[in-house]
Structure formats: structure tokens, C-alpha cells
Homo-oligomer: A and B are copies of this chain.
């Protein structure tokens, strides 16, 4: 039975990390909210779970995944679940928990990316929090990006495989690739200035994007473009 992914239909957002794992795994899945309402899709199908009108475990927010009767939420949790079933993780426990903590660290970084344009409240528009966004973003680029990127670069230095794990490619590399792609979209100027400081991260992103299944996905209509409603947003005033 195909996996059913539930996520907002018009943005990459956190759901994109799940889409990438499903695509690289080469498994059948339905991106439910992007299907027509007449075929049981649309946002309404997703809300049924969030409202508690569907059986099984209750997700807090999209993305969530349905695998038969199992409903599971939280991006990093879903990624690990799918990856471990389809040979995109590692077999030994030590590196399994390491990969999970690495992806959770990526998720922490993504939350900080989101808050660059929404430092006061996710319920307000960007236009309602522009001065605060400018202040937060400047410090994010100055302090937080180097802290996280240095960490990722050191992980890659230590693994010495060109991937996060010493055993080679895993789903954690998909998370790193997507993070770099998003940052390049949102902050092209800042990223151009610092690219040379993180050569292994840059090479990893290229290498992952060239994997046949990933490349086919990125070139397909299934890959939504980055836009100004998603997690990574390009506001020129935030990227001087």
C-alpha cells in the first residue's frame, strides 16, 4: 500500500524533507493534499486528521504520514521511519541515533530560518513584523548560520565519506542538501559570501542533487518551487 503524505499543497516547507526521502527511497506515495478534492485529496483531507475526526494517533501539525493504520508526525520522526525501512539509514544503533540527532539539529536550524521572517508570531504577516525580522535576520546570518554550518562541516570532515555518515549516503544528507538549497534561495548574497568556508557542505549538496532519483524529482512537476509562503523566503531587504 502506498504511503500517504499530508502536507500543505503549495509550499516546500518541512514537508519537502519527507518528500525527498520518499523520492530517494523510490517508494509509492500519495501527496494527499495536492490531489483533487473529488479524489479524496485537498487540504480538507488533511484537516480531518488535525481536527481529530480520523482514527488513530493524533498529529499536532503537518507534515504527517500514514502507513496503513499507522499515523506518524514530526518531520525528523517520519524521515527516520521511512529511511530505516528503505535502506537510507544505517544498521548499527550508534550511527542510527547520531543521524537522528543530526536531522533534529537541521530541524532546529529550519525553525530559526522560519523565525527570521516571523520573529514575533507565525500568526502575523511578515509585513506586520518587518523591523523585528530585520533585526533577527542580521544576527541569524552573523551568529547562527556560522554556528550550524561549522557544525555540519565538522561532521563531514569527521566522516570523510563526503556524506554525514561514515558509512556513506543516508537520509541525513537529503536534509543537508535541502537546507543548503533553501538558504541559497533565501539569502543568495549572504550565502555567496560564506560559501568558501563550507566546501564539504557545498560538495555534498551537489552530490546529493545529482543522485538519479533526486535529480529526476527536482526536475519534475512534483518539486514545488521555492516561494514567499514557505519556510525559506527571499526578501531582498533581509539579504543585503
Contact = CB atoms under 8 A, between A and B. Distances in A.
Contacts of A123: 139, 143
A120 B98 contact: no
Given A58-B154, A139-B124, A119 B132 contact: yes
Interface stretch (A23-31, A74-82, A205-213, A218-226): A74-82
A120 to B, nearest CB: 5
A203 interface: no
Copy tally for this chain in the complex stands at 2
Instruction: Give the one of A58, A93, A123 with max B CB within 10 A.
Output: A58
Secondary structure call for the A interface: helix
Interface residues of A, number: 43
Contacts of A148: 60
A117 to B, nearest CB: 13
Instruction: Give the one of A57, A136, A143 with max B CB within 10 A.
Output: A57
A72 B60 contact: no
Contact of A111 (B60, B105, B108, B135): B108
Given A58-B154, A115-B115, A121 B143 contact: yes
A6 to B, nearest CB: 13
B120 A101 contact: no
Interface of A: 52, 57-61, 69-70, 72-74, 76-77, 81, 93-95, 97-98, 100-101, 104-105, 108, 111, 115, 119-121, 123-124, 132, 135-136, 139-140, 143-144, 148, 151, 154-155, 158
Closest 9 CB pairs of A and B: A74-B101, A121-B139, A74-B104, A57-B98, A73-B101, A60-B105, A72-B97, A77-B101, A120-B136
Given A60-B108, A60-B148, 11 more contacts: A52-B154, A57-B101, A58-B151, A58-B155, A60-B105, A69-B94, A70-B93, A73-B105, A77-B97, A121-B144, A124-B139
